[in-house]
Amino acid sequence: MENASKALIIAGAILLSILIISLGIAIFNQASGVVNNNAMTEVEVNSFNQKFEQYTGEKVRGANINALIQAVNTNNMANNDDESKQVKLVGVNPMTGSTNQYEKSAKTGQTYSAKPTKTTTGGLISEITINENQN
């Protein structure tokens, strides 16, 4: 009888050990999932950048620059809480009272150069420099 009770105690200890180890693994997997969700995949980065790259180049019409400004304004409003996804425009006046919204100010008959700058860590476009071309 004494051997049977010791066997039950050992079996219980083994089951309790397995339960504790399983719980630790579950917590570890959950925590690593949170860390991995903060990083964007290459497809997500390309999709983000494509919204703006279609309007960049050396000879971009004013109407396309205004569309770029609208795309940046929409992006900045949608990602207001995520600083890493904010895009800054250089060479365009910000809207009054706003640091991440810009006025549409390109002349439709004029050509512009729009050059994107990407972050070194994630590869996202963080800044676009717009200059008026001399015709």
94: phi then psi, degrees, rounded to nearest 5: -70, 155
Label residue 51 exposed, middle or buried (CB < 10 Å: 0-12, 13-18, 19+).
middle
Domain spans of the chain, in order of start: 1-38, 42-132
Could you tell me the pTM of the whole model? 0.69
Q: What is the mean pLDDT of residues 6-15?
A: 92
Q: Determine what percent of the chain is predicted with pLDDT higher than 90.
A: 54
Residue 104 pLDDT > 60: yes
CA quadruple 80, 76, 119, 114: dihedral, nearest 10: -170
Structure tokens at 123: 């590869």
Report pLDDT for 121.
Answer: 79
Report pLDDT for 38.
Answer: 54
